[in-house]
Structure 1
Amino acid sequence: MPDRISTVNQVFTAESVISEPLLFKEMRLYSAHLKRLVKLTLLQPAILPDTIPMSVLLVFDGQDFPALRMQKTLEENCLGFPEKPLLVVGIHANKDRIYEYGTASQPDYAYRGNKAANTTHFVTSELMPYLKANFTLSKNRSDWSVAGFSLSGLMAMDIAWHHSEYFSQVGVFSGSFWWRQRALEDDYEESDRIMHSIIRNTPSRPPIKFWFQTGTRDEESDRDNDGIIDSIDDTLDLIAELERKGFAWGNDIRYEEVQDGEHHPSTWAKVFPDFLHWVMKMKS
């Protein structure tokens, strides 16, 4: 493909496969912002009148859908919501994942995530317009959600926080909330965590609902030696920042801590049905 291509209209679609009750489709959408073809996996009800608008769940790390058992999960858990059909869009990462996911306003101390702003622009100005032009989708932001895992969970949190005009719910599985502007060996302080600082320094309170998950075996690191692994500490500290903004635990915030849960799709797959039901109930 020529390097000078700069239009979202370059779309390559694989043959759709109907596996009742879902329609499975894979496609590639060219992004001028990321300067590459982005692979997408789309799952939606197989039989649905064109007049019924679908809710939308965008999921980063779509390449992990097989390991997450996404198709089976949707088949088993979405049938209870026939009046609220859902389109799930998996956004695949590639070899530049560590640079394309992160916080859009600031890379980490090692300059990872320096293309996160490009990912944000891809989602908001290329992917979403394409979806709206080619599918019958809800126009209500209350019907749009975004989710991710590990580093892509941080990406989902960042994009939802800054673009609540598009998204009303966000799901973060084992989020990389350790993301920091200073290395541990360089006089690191807890205030160096980037997403925490973003929330703390945002004057407004975006109208978002949050679903967080951690596992007690996400990692072994415990930098403050308090007996709690960093993954849990960082997530709970982020929730504390949200509470200081006025978000309420149990109302605006849902937190699931999985005993023996690992930083792996096998754990995330087990709790994804719970997240899916939370998303659908939030749309009620």
Structure 2
Amino acid sequence: MTFINKALSVAFCLVAFVAFGQKETQPIPLGESITLESTILNETRKINVYLPPYYQPNDTVKYPVVYILDGGVEEDFIHLAGVFRVNSQPWIDRFPEAIVVGIENVNRRRDFTFAVPNIDFLDQLKYSKDFFPQYGGAEPYAAFLEGELIPYIDQYYNTTSERTVVGESLAGLMSSYLLIKHPLVFTNYVIVSPSFWWGEEKLLDETTMCLLNKIKHPVNVYVGLPSKEEDEMMYEVGTRFYSFLQQNPMIHSTFDYMPEEVHATVLHQAVHNAIKKGFHKK
């Protein structure tokens, strides 16, 4: 290479460095994280909050709230906040603009399971008991939602009384538990692939039927299930739960079977489908 070619090569590198070497970045706003000290749970909980694009703290406009039980940043908060955001855009208008609250997990197997005398039933299901060193915390968790988290969100954000809860798998079990045991806390329920096998299907007994039939105010419930080829038992108990819902005219229920989805992939599609089907409208 001649001296002139070398000089041109060096000059080109210097120009490229000047043009591309100084990168300017700005963070993309998605939401905010808060830390909530729970007296009921006796632990610190991280809460992630997405706010609508034109949200103003001092504005008079108020928004419904969506609560995601598996709501950590590394869980379902980011992708589900996106689903609710895109469906609330004016040219789509399938769901109202909403505040989305993601509850980051500490111990979901403890928090999302109701109390049982023992866990011997896991042997029949071929689940290891080691997976559940702690369990049965559904009632304290419900008290945390109703007594601490929701009042906190209502105090510091511009909220309406319309609340949606989203849960899949064990979180789907917890969402069902809230509907059955605490039906006044939420307006809308997105229940996906719920783990009704917990406690030998205790949440699907005659007591549950009686409690569901006692609901006297309108609620909207979406039940989404993945392929029964993967887990026929989960499909069977999910459809049985849906049949319970249909017996009460105050419960507007939507059923969605997704044979192309499996347990690991169903949540995102289910939430999109729930909104598309207008599950929250009666």
Indicate the RMSD between aligned Cα atoms, in angstroms.
Answer: 2.7
Identity of aligned residues (%): 18
Instruction: Name the TM-score, length of structure 2 as normaliser.
Output: 0.74
**Residue in structure 1 matching 2:197, options 178, 185, 190:** 178
Aligned to 2:149: 127
Aligned to 2:85: 75
Distance 1:240-1:280 versus aligned 2 partners, 3 A rule:
closer
Aligned to 1:163: 182
**Is 1:149 matched up with 2:168?**
yes
Letter in 1 for 2:245: L
Report the secondary structure of 1:45's partner residue: coil
Distance 1:279 1:134 in 2: 29
Distance 1:154-1:281 versus aligned 2 partners, 3 A rule:
closer
Q: Which has the larger radius of gyration?
A: 2
Aligned to 2:16: none
Q: Deviations over 1:128-147 (max 9, x none)?
A: 11011101111x3xx21112
Report the secondary structure of 1:274's partner residue: helix
Aligned to 1:137: 159
**Residue in structure 2 matching 1:233, options 233, 236, 240:** 236
Aligned to 2:128: none
Letter in 1 for 2:204: H
Superposition deviation, residue 215 in structure 1: 0.6
Q: Deviations over 1:141-164 (max 9, x none)?
A: xx2111201001111111133333
Report the secondary structure of 2:36's partner residue: strand
Letter in 1 for 2:238: T
Letter in 1 for 2:112: Y
Which has the higher mean CA deviation after the structures are superposed, 41-50 or 270-279?
Answer: 270-279
Aligned to 2:96: 84
Aligned to 1:205: 215
**Residue in structure 1 matching 2:204, options 190, 196, 211:** 196
Contact preservation (8 Å) 1:160, 1:169 = no
Letter in 2 for 1:273: H
Distance 2:46 2:118 in 1: 29
Distance 1:280-1:28 versus aligned 2 partners, 3 A rule:
farther
Superposition deviation, residue 61 in structure 1: 0.7
Superposition deviation, residue 122 in structure 1: 0.6
Aligned to 1:257: 257
Letter in 1 for 2:175: A
Superposition deviation, residue 235 in structure 1: 0.6
Aligned to 2:55: 48
Distance 1:136-1:231 versus aligned 2 partners, 3 A rule:
same
Distance 1:43 1:151 in 2: 23
> Which structure 1 residue ranges, 4+ long, deviate > 4 Å from structure 2?
277-281
- Structure 2 stretches lacking a partner, 5+ long: 1-26, 120-131
Distance 2:79 2:38 in 1: 27
Question: 1:77-116 residue pairs with structure 2 within 5 A?
Answer: 77-80=87-90, 81=93, 84-94=96-106, 96-103=107-114, 106-107=115-116, 109-110=118-119, 113-116=135-138
Contact preservation (8 Å) 1:157, 1:171 = no
Superposition deviation, residue 52 in structure 1: 0.5
Report the secondary structure of 1:260's partner residue: coil
Report the secondary structure of 1:130's partner residue: helix
Distance 1:271-1:200 versus aligned 2 partners, 3 A rule:
closer
